[in-house]
Amino acid sequence: MAKMNLLQAINNALDTAMAADDSMICLGEDVGKFGGVFRATSHLQEKYGKARCFNTPLTEQGIAGFAIGMAAQGSTAVAEIQFADYIFPAFDQIVNEAAKFRYRSGNEFNVGSLVFRTPYGGGIAGGLYHSQSPEAYFCHTPGLKVLMPSNPYQAKGLLLSAIRDPNPVLFFEPKRLYRASEGDVPEEDYEIPIGKAEVVRNGSDITLLGWGAQMTEMHKAADKAAEEGISCEVIDLRSLLPWDVETVANSVSKTGRLVIAHEATHTGGFGGEIAATIQQECFLSLESPIARVAGLDTPFPLAHEKEYLPDYLKVYEALVASLNY
C-alpha cells in the first residue's frame, strides 16, 4: 500500500494502464508536458512519449471526435475534458456517436475502449463555468457507463475498470477532493467492479446514499446523527450507470428510510431516478417519503457557493425530518 491523494491515484491508474497496453493514448487540453490543469497526467508524456500523451486544440467537440475515431480504429483512448462544464460542446459526439456506435452496427464495430475523464462539482470557488455536476445528462443515455469515485482507492480501481470496460465510460472526478482526500492505495494493478455500490457504514435507522464529493458530507452527517443515538447506514453508489439497485433496496428494506444527496440541481438530478426506483422496490417497507438533498435550481453561484452546495447539516436536517415523519 502507498499513501496517495485522489489525483495521485488517478495518475497512477493511467500510468499502470499505459504500461500494460501499448495502444493506450491520453489526450486533452494541456495534458502533455504540463500534466493537465490539475496535473492528473503529470510525467506521462515524459515516460510514454508525445505520440501516446499529447495536447489537443481547445475544442471539446474535436477532442471527443478524435477519441471516438481512435477507439474505433483499435486504440484505447482516454480523453480529458478539462472541466465537466466544458463537456457540453462534446455532448453530440458522446451521446449521438459514442453511445450508439455498437448498437447501430449490430455489434460489428464499437468504441468500447474509450473513457472521458473530467473533474466535476463545486468547492473550489470556480463559479458557474467551473463547478457544475452534469452526470444526470449522461445517465439518460443507453450505451454509456457513468462512474464517480469518492476516494483514492476507488479512483484507481474504478478508472482501471473503466479503461478496460468494453463500453464507452464517463469518469467524473470530484475535484474538491483531488488533494483533500488521502488514503491507502495498492501500488499493483487492481480493478473495482462497475455497477456495484459500497456499503461504507452499517446502520439500522436510516439509509444515506451519495456519490463523489458528497460522501464526505454523508460521513459527517452520520457522525452527528450518531451523537443523537441515530444509526445511519451509508452507501457510496460509485457507479451511476449502471447503478446497484439491489444493494440500495436491501438497505432501505431494512431501515425503512432513505436520504439521497448530490451536488447537481434538484430538478432532473439523478436522485429522482433513484427515488422512483426505490419507491417501486421498497414501497411496503418505507416509513417516510424518500428525501433528496441537492443543489439549488439556479446557475451555480460564486458568491453563494456555500448556500448552494448540499452539506452535512442539510443532510442531517433531512434525516431528522425523515425520522420524525
Q: Quick one: cell of 8?
A: 495521485
pLDDT at 315 over 90: yes
The pLDDT score that the predictor gives to residue 32 is 97
pLDDT digits (tens, 9 = 90+) for 2-51: 999 999 999 999 999 999 999 999 999 999 999 999 999 999 999 999 99
pLDDT of 141: 97
pLDDT tens-digit series, residues 241-250: 999 999 999 9
Query: With 90 as the cut, is the pLDDT of residue 186 above it?
Result: yes
Q: Which one of the listed residues 29, 60, 173, 263 is annotated catalytic? A: 60
Mean predicted lDDT score pLDDT of the chain? 97
The domain spans of the chain are 2-185, 198-323
Q: If we measure between CA atoms, which residue out of 151, 135, 175 comes closest to residue 40?
A: 175
pTM above 0.95, yes or no: yes
- Angle in degrees, CA 155, 212, 268, rounded to 5: 135
The average pLDDT across 151-170 equals: 98
The pLDDT value given to residue 182: 93
Q: Is 278 helix (H, G, I), strand (E, B) or coil?
A: helix
266 as an active site residue: the answer is no
Give the E-state strand segments of the chain in sequence order: 2-5, 24-28, 53-55, 76-80, 114-120, 145-147, 169-174, 182-185, 198-201, 206-210, 232-236, 239-241, 258-265, 291-295
CATH number of 2-185: 3.40.50.970
**The one catalytic residue among 29, 80, 130, 233:** 130
What are the Cα distances from residue 258, in Å, to 24, 250, 286?
41, 11, 8
pLDDT for 181 beyond 90: no
**What is the mean predicted confidence (pLDDT) over 290-302?**
97
pLDDT in tens, 67-120: 999 999 999 999 999 999 999 999 999 999 999 999 999 999 999 999 999 999
Region 313-318: mean pLDDT is 98
108: annotated active-site residue: no
pLDDT at 198 over 90: yes
Q: Please tell me the predicted confidence (pLDDT) of residue 313.
A: 98
**176: its cell numbers:** 474538491
Domain 198-323 is in which class? alpha beta
pLDDT in tens, 53-81: 999 999 999 999 999 999 999 999 999 99
